[in-house]
Amino acid sequence: MSNFNFNFEIKASCNKTSARTGVFHTPHGRVETPRFMPVGTLGTVKGLTSSQINSTGASMILSNTFHLHLQPGEKIIKESGGLHNFMNWDKPILTDSGGYQVFSLAKLNNVTDEGVEFKNPRDGSQIFLSPDKVMEIQRDLGSDVVMAFDHCPSHMSNQNEIEASLKRTNLWLERCVNQKLNSNQALFGIVQGGKYPHLREMSAKYVCSFDLPGIAVGGVSVGESIDLIHNVINFIPKFLPLHKPRYLMGIGSLYEIALAVSNGFDLFDCVLPTRLGRHGTAFFNDERWNLRNARFRNDFEPIDKTCSCETCKSYSRAYLHHLIRNDELLGLTLISLHNISHLIRYTNSISKAIQDNCFTIDFAPWKRSSIAHHTW
């Protein structure tokens, strides 16, 4: 277990919801919550340098154990001095365990209680990942927060299948806990259980029994309806300890972030900002603008006059339209930079609103009529 004190301090609480602000202490610095975490699957937030990511206000990023194991391999990263050195990022890093790939690459894998046999999507070779192996890889990567290996079932799975996957997730968590990590790493367990409340409750109580430094909730935003996502967000927190950071995996839309914060969640991640950015779509308030559209051809305003990101300070919608229409790489970089900045700005605004007792579930601070407009 970790020798570093991964302490989580609650700084302020909302008087109308379960929202809170806090500080999560890690060996590579503080993470003020609530906070959106950009996704750098392969040790890179697509299209952005470390200094550009830093300029967005990001304080922790996420990388993926499975993909880094395939390329370049954890031994090379360890030889470089760890993932922080390898990608030139001196702030906290969280590594996902590869459990999501059990779901997303279901056609390429075979799952047993011992682990998962994958067909390498790069070259077709066979790869076997067990909870023990996943912990070993993350130990070599040297991330601050290590995720337990879990079995993320499809939202189409029936109750018997989800019960079996949850039993396996619990078995794997115990094996992860028993593996030795570096003294400056923290293990988070993951709550699963699909759409079944009694299985979610059972999973939450089991994960909490290990008294780990933090708890994640997985198996959301994997293709299920928005109502089911909301059900999980609203249901789970009552079973989680107040004094631990709560990480809701795979959530990046504004309303769902606000709903999750109102229920006491602290950390969020999603590939959406860069995935949309690569296709020319920019965030503006709660809208998504496709900058390929002809209406932006002669629009010389920034994406958002109120945004302080480098894209909005320096470039017009017309220029971004030009870049995207001509498949220039700079276009995806600039729009991704803005999109990430927008989500981090949003969680910063939520934090300020909680402190000022003006946070609401329908949080939209860009509206002049909002009591939280001053936070934007």
Please give the pLDDT value at position 102: 66
How far is residue 346's CA from residue 286's CA, in Å, rounded to a whole number? 10
Q: Report DSSP state, residue 45.
A: -
Active site residue 123: no
- Taking 90 as the threshold, does the pLDDT of residue 364 lie above it? yes
Q: Which residues contact 110 (CB under 8 A, 6 or more apart)?
A: 116, 117
Give pLDDT, residue 191: 98
pTM confidence score: 0.96
Q: Which DSSP category does 296 fall into? A: G
Catalytic residue selected from 144, 150, 266, 269: 269
Query: Identity (one letter) of the amino acid at 201?
Result: E
Amino acid at residue number 75: K
Which residue ranges form the domains of the chain, and what is each CATH number?
8-270 (3.20.20.105), 277-375 (no CATH)
- Residue 1, pLDDT > 60, answer no
Give yes or no: 90 in active site.
Answer: no
- From CA 330, how far away is CA 321, in angstroms rounded? 11
* Geometric angle at alpha carbon 344, from 263 and 278, rounded to 5°: 115
| pLDDT for 85 beyond 70 | yes
Instruction: Report how far residue 31's alpha carbon sits from residue 22's, in angstroms, rounded to the nearest whole number.
Output: 8
Q: Which amino acid is at 6?
A: F
In Å, the largest CA–CA distance within the chain is 60
What's the one-letter identity of residue 17?
Answer: T
Q: Is the peptide bond before 34 cis (omega within 30 degrees of 0)?
A: yes
For 286, residues 6+ apart whose C-beta sits below 8 A from its C-beta are 254, 255, 364, 366
Which is nearest to 145 in space by CA: 213, 77, 204, 211?
Answer: 213
Give 108's pLDDT tier (boundaries 50, 70, 90). low
- Site of tokens 């993470």: 31
pLDDT (0 to 100) of residue 155: 84
Which of the residues 96, 140, 266, 304 is marked catalytic?
A: 96
pLDDT above 80: residue 292: yes
List pLDDT tens digits, range 180-230: 999 999 999 999 999 999 999 999 999 999 999 999 999 898 888 999 999
Tell me the average pLDDT across 106-129.
Answer: 84
Which residue would you say has higher pLDDT here, 155 or 43? Answer: 43
